[in-house]
C-alpha cells in the first residue's frame, strides 16, 4: 500500500531580468515544483518514518523532472534547494523525510552534483509560505548563487497534509558582486569549492 497520496501539483517559474541594474541578456529562471500529499502520520506519533521517506523518492523524481523540463534541461541548472511545509496535525520530522527523498532524487536527475542541497521546513497551514534557500549545485562556497525561491499554496497544506517542494535556478543572483568563489572557478571535488 502506498503511503504517498497526492492531492495536487503546482509549478511556479520566476523570470528575473534585472535587480535595479542593467537588463541582462538572458533572464534568470527560478522554478519551484510542489506536491501536496496526505500525511500518513497526521495526529499520531510513528517511530519508523523510513518507509514514507523511501516511497517519497518517486515523488522527488517526478518533481525534479518537471523542474528540469521547465528550465530547458539539466545542463541549464546551476542552483537548487528543497523545502517542506507540514500541516498542523503533523510534526517537523514528517517534513524532514524530504531531506533524503527530495534531495537524493534531485541530485540523481542532475547527474550527481557535489554540493549539499540547502533546505527549509516548517509547520504551517494553508496560504503559508516558506523561502527555500538556493545554493550552487557543485560548490557551497559560491556566494553569487545564495538565493531563495518562494514556495506557497493558497489552499495547503491542510492540517493532515504536507507540501513537499523542490527548487532549481538557471544561475545566481542577477548583478551578484560580493566576491567569493566564482562559479567559473568551481573545481567540483568536495561540494565546497
d(CA 69, CA 135): 20
∠173-178-184 over CA atoms, to 5°? 65
Residue 128 lies in a domain: yes
Residue 190 lies in a domain: no
Long-range contacts: 44-47, Cβ < 8 Å, 24+? 45/91
Strands 79-86 and 119-123, by their bridges, are parallel
CATH number at residue 69: 3.30.1330.110
* Entry pTM: 0.96
Q: How many separate domains does the chain show? A: 1
Q: What is the DSSP letter of 103?
A: H
Residue 138 lies in a domain: yes
- Say if CB 184 and CB 136 are below 8 A apart: no
Task: For 144-178, write each residue's pLDDT tens digit.
Answer: 999 999 999 999 999 999 999 999 999 999 999 99
Residue 87 phi/psi, 5° resolution?
-65, 165
Residue 1 lies in a domain: no
Task: For 83-117, write each residue's pLDDT tens digit.
Answer: 999 999 999 999 999 999 999 999 999 999 999 99
Residue 63 lies in a domain: yes
Amino acid at each position: 500500500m502506498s503511503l504517498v497520496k497526492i492531492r495536487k501539483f503546482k509549478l511556479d517559474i520566476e523570470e528575473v531580468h534585472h535587480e535595479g541594474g542593467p537588463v541582462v541578456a538572458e533572464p534568470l529562471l527560478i522554478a519551484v515544483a510542489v506536491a501536496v500529499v496526505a500525511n500518513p502520520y497526521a495526529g499520531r506519533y510513528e517511530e519508523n518514518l523510513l518507509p514514507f521517506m523511501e516511497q517519497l523518492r518517486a515523488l522527488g523524481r517526478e518533481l525534479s523532472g518537471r523542474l528540469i523540463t521547465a528550465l530547458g534541461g539539466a545542463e541549464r541548472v546551476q542552483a537548487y534547494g528543497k523545502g517542506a511545509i507540514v500541516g498542523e496535525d503533523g510534526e517537523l520530522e514528517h517534513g524532514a523525510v524530504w531531506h533524503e527523498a527530495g534531495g537524493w532524487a534531485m541530485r540523481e536527475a542532475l547527474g550527481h552534483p557535489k554540493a549539499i542541497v540547502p533546505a527549509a521546513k516548517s509547520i504551517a497551514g494553508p496560504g503559508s509560505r516558506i523561502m527555500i534557500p538556493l545554493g550552487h549545485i557543485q560548490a557551497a562556497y559560491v556566494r553569487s548563487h545564495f538565493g531563495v525561491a518562494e514556495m506557497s499554496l493558497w489552499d495547503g497544506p491542510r492540517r493532515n497534509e504536507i507540501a513537499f517542494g523542490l527548487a532549481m535556478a538557471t544561475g545566481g543572483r542577477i548583478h551578484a558582486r560580493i566576491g567569493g568563489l566564482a562559479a567559473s572557478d568551481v573545481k567540483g571535488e568536495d561540494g565546497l569549492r
